[in-house]
Chains A and B, each alone.
Chain A
């Protein structure tokens, strides 16, 4: 059975955070997982390669309070939207 989008994103984030996939739950923030802005840069690259999409991510904006990719659920949601936009 093929992995769902969320499973694939969680696998990428887990690898970046050096954690088991079971520890990467949707409610956890990237901060909380120990992923800094440069870790995020690597994770975004892996996501782009995995799904063949372009994620508009600027590390300079990652510290903002209203930064959209704050937690794991938000990343999954953003990736799903980008995939849908590409398919659409």
Chain B
């Protein structure tokens, strides 16, 4: 069993077009959610979202590349470029064959699907662009990251709805820990902010019309976001031998299934995943100083998640900080765990806990310190990142300071 460390991180999300801007957003409790700006927004009842603003694809990609890249692929490539640049790795020779990419996404090329369904059904057009299939496929982002950076080992995409990124990062962790890969690019990307993507969520009646307020008694639902975050997971010995800067250690991972209900979460399934991650990391509950919550801002998730955390941590809850950064960047669905891992790494490296913003009133069902409204300084040795998906699929990562 090899130790696995993180040696690079990159992102683009509603809080910023890179890691520095995003961490600045976390520190300053910045709201990345605002009025939704997409075609036909007037036919939606939900009109807010965490959109990536000011992103100009043509600045990053050539005329030849753009027809092949759905928005989620563009996000993944921008984040991958930043992460790899920070790691200092160049993938050639043997290392290229020992490196791959596992990404999470729920909707894949949903913007491409939306635009082309609109063209053929709505506008009655009989012709679509020849690259619709390679644009919309769920593995497009992983494949383009592999091609752009010469990653020639195992590469694939994981789709477990809102836990996609955490499952993907868990897979990458396993590949490096087992020795199957030396280096893995991993994380997730999502771009679901198109008419069909929001209309579908609207139908479920769990979306907030005004704000994402996780754990606040007056919360009224989730808010969608978009973007990507990617990380370089590397064999510790390899990283040390080349003198790489190590951001954190990926110490453990666990996944469980509720085997219960397609949308309603289970406290027991969530608790088992949290316990499993602690066991895998060989950490006692008392070692955890911070949990980045799934914290969607729905009644059901927040209540269930808090009950699961209380069940696992008991009296240690008094010394535990837990926040949901979805309050700032929204729910990036299949990309959300990746963006949230940035907050875990910030907590470990910088001793700054990202807040849960929009918090107004304590909820007796959520009796935890949720770092309300302002970032907080705290020295943390280990952190967890929770993700609990529709379908009852749970994935929890454990990180350690190094």
A residues adjacent to B (C-beta < 8 A)? 36-38, 41, 44-45, 54, 57-63
Contact = CB atoms under 8 A, between A and B. Distances in A.
B45 A60 contact: no
B28 interface: no
A58 B205 contact: yes
Contacts of B219: 60
Contacts of B264: 36, 38
A60 B298 contact: yes
12 contacts: A36-B264, A38-B263, A38-B264, A41-B204, A41-B205, A44-B205, A58-B208, A59-B205, A60-B219, A60-B221, A61-B220, A61-B299
B contact patch SS: loop
Contact of B221 (A41, A45, A54, A58): A58
Contacts of A41: 203-205
B208 to A, nearest CB: 8
Which has the most chain B C-beta neighbours within 10 Å: A38, A58, A60, A62? A60
Nearest to A63: B299
Contacts of B205: 41, 44, 57-59
Given A41-B204, A41-B205, A58 B220 contact: yes
Nearest to B263: A38
Interface of B: 45, 203-209, 219-221, 263-264, 298-300
Given A41-B203, A58-B205, A61-B299, 18 more contacts: A36-B264, A41-B204, A41-B205, A45-B203, A54-B45, A57-B205, A58-B207, A58-B209, A58-B220, A58-B221, A59-B204, A59-B205, A59-B298, A59-B299, A60-B206, A60-B208, A60-B299, A62-B299
A63 to B, nearest CB: 6
Contacts, number: 36
Contacts of A61: 220, 299
B296 to A, nearest CB: 10
A61 B263 CA distance: 16
Given A38-B263, A38-B264, A59 B206 contact: yes
Contacts of B207: 58
* Top 7 A-B residue pairs of the complex, sorted by shortest distance between their CB atoms: A59-B205, A60-B299, A60-B221, A41-B205, A60-B220, A59-B206, A60-B298
B285 to A, nearest CB: 29
Question: Which of A54, A59, A63 neighbours the largest number of chain B CB atoms within 10 Å of its CB?
Answer: A59
A74 to B, nearest CB: 17
B266 to A, nearest CB: 14
Contacts of A62: 299
A62 B109 CA distance: 34
Nearest to B206: A59
A57 B204 CA distance: 10
A68 to B, nearest CB: 15
A2 B208 CA distance: 37
A33 to B, nearest CB: 18
Contacts of B221: 58-60
B307 to A, nearest CB: 14
A60 to B, nearest CB: 4
A62 B219 CA distance: 12
A82 B187 CA distance: 46
A37 B205 CA distance: 10
A57 B300 CA distance: 16
Contacts of A57: 205
Contacts of B206: 58-60
Contacts of A45: 203
Contacts of A58: 205-209, 220-221
Contacts of A54: 45
A59 B203 CA distance: 11
Contacts of B204: 41, 59
A57 B219 CA distance: 14
B401 to A, nearest CB: 36
A30 to B, nearest CB: 14
Nearest to A45: B203
Nearest to B299: A60
A63 B206 CA distance: 13
B358 to A, nearest CB: 14
A66 B56 CA distance: 47
